Amino acid sequence: MSARLLDGVAIAQAIRGEVRPDADAFTREAGRQPGLALVLVGNDPASELYVGSKLKSAGESGIRADLERLPATANVDELLALVDRLNRSVIYDGILVQSPLPKAMGHDAERRVFDAIDPTKDVDGLHPSNVGLLVQGRASLAACTPSGVIEILDRSGIEIAGKRAVVIGRSDIVGKPMALLLLNRHATVTVCHSRTVDLPGVCREADILVAALGRAAFVTPDFVKPGAAVIDVGTTRVEDRTFIEQLYPAGSKRLAAFEKRGALVMGDVHPAVEQVAGALTPVPGGVGPLTIAMLLKNTVRAAHDRLRKA
């Protein structure tokens, strides 16, 4: 048996196709486009890339997106002052501060900055007010990546209600909101982490298994109930040739991609899981594309919500 591959690129494209008319409707009503402010501190190359594709995608979806930059030497007070200005701006409905922040800003900088974002503009869904609303099943803005996982399941016809769901990972960005979103959709949810005893055994109970731990190829076939839907959130850059050669046969596309770039971005799920799972998101092309699509969806939703409350 070979799992059905769930095409995140096509699903993200469909969502973006729905966001555009919604953004245009807002523009007609409000007399301005929905506005997204992206904040980038420093010039980490991966962050530059992410922010660049967010700006481009927003523009294509009828959203005004502007980049606000601070130098890597900026301190947390300067960043908080910028967030305060964006909170008070009437042209921005969404604010996204790209993480990670430079280490020099201090270990609690991210939390302080995310907490300072106006919850009505919190398109990342990470503000404690929005997380609290998510706990109570009435969030308007929820974290983008786990919201994207729900879209993949829904649009692939994978039922959630009544199913056993296991989430590996309990981060504030992925694992916890993922578990809450599944719970709110009436799954019976177990959350696993680094202290979980008999992780493969717990995972084998899952009809829906979400892997969000950030360890390449960690989830092997013995974690997976035959026929389960396996959602691979992980993205780890692997440069170890021996490791890659153990996973992919000579002549495979993935090995060729490694040869070309000297590295591969890998998911948490081992390639052999494809023979056991009923459905599987690939990496790349699975969950990844949904994150930006959900950011755009959240931005337009925040814009409409703010207009209604004005």
Q: Does 107 bind ligand NAP (CB under 6 A)?
A: no
Out of 124, 207, 232, 268, which one is annotated catalytic?
124
Binding residues for ligand NAP, total number by CB under 6 A: 25
Nearest to 173 by CA among 212, 121, 230: 212
Residues 64, 121, 163, 170: which binds ligand NAP (CB under 6 A)?
A: 170
- Asked if residue 128 has a cis previous peptide bond (ω within 30° of 0), the answer is no
Nearer of residues 76 and 192 to ligand NAP, judged by Cβ: 192
Q: Is 41:79 a contact under the CB 8 Å cutoff? A: yes
Q: How far is the CB of 1 from ligand NAP (least distance, A)?
A: 26
Question: Residue 70 gets which letter from DSSP?
Answer: E
Out of 7, 22, 54, 268, which one is annotated catalytic?
54
Q: Does 190 bind ligand NAP (CB under 6 A)?
A: no
Q: How far is the CB of 177 from ligand NAP (least distance, A)?
A: 10
Q: Which of the ranges 52-60, 72-80, 109-117, 164-172 carries the binding residues for ligand NAP, by CB under 6 A? A: 164-172
Nearer of residues 136 and 194 to ligand NAP, judged by Cβ: 194
Nearer of residues 54 and 64 to ligand NAP, judged by Cβ: 54
Residues 133, 236, 257, 265: which binds ligand NAP (CB under 6 A)?
A: 236
Asked about 54 being catalytic, the answer comes back as: yes
Q: How far is the CB of 201 from ligand NAP (least distance, A)?
A: 13
Q: How far is the CB of 48 from ligand NAP (least distance, A)?
A: 16
Residues 14, 214, 255, 257: which binds ligand NAP (CB under 6 A)?
A: 214
Asked about 297 being catalytic, the answer comes back as: no
Nearest to 123 by CA among 303, 309, 310, 307: 303
d(CA 142, CA 10) in angstroms, rounded, equals 22
Nearer of residues 34 and 234 to ligand NAP, judged by Cβ: 234
Nearest to 54 by CA among 297, 307, 304: 297
Q: Which of the ranges 15-23, 118-126, 212-220, 252-260 carries the binding residues for ligand NAP, by CB under 6 A? A: 212-220
The amino acid occupying position 207 is D
Q: Does 220 bind ligand NAP (CB under 6 A)?
A: no
Q: Is 135:308 a contact under the CB 8 Å cutoff? A: no
With a CB cutoff of 8 Å and minimum separation 6, the contacts of 137 are: 184
Q: Can you spell out the DSSP letters for 190-252?
A: EEE-TT-TTHHHHHTT-SEEEE-S--TT-B-GGG--TT-EEEE---EEE--HHHHHHHS-TT-
What b-and-e string marks burial along 276-310, b requiring 16 or more CB atoms within 10 Å of the CB?
A: bbbbbbbbbebbbbbbbbbbbbbbbbbbbebeeee
Asked about 124 being catalytic, the answer comes back as: yes
Give, as ranges, the residues between 268 and 297 that touch ligand NAP (CB under 6 A). Answer: 287-288, 291
Out of 33, 98, 122, 268, which one is annotated catalytic?
98
Strands across the sheet with 64-70, in order?
Answer: 64-70, 35-41, 94-97
Q: How far is the CB of 128 from ligand NAP (least distance, A)?
A: 17
The amino acid occupying position 69 is R
Q: How many CB atoms lie within 10 A of CB 247?
A: 18
Catalytic residues: 54, 98, 124
Interface with ligand NAP (CB under 6 A):
145, 168-171, 173-175, 192-196, 199, 212-215, 233-236, 287-288, 291
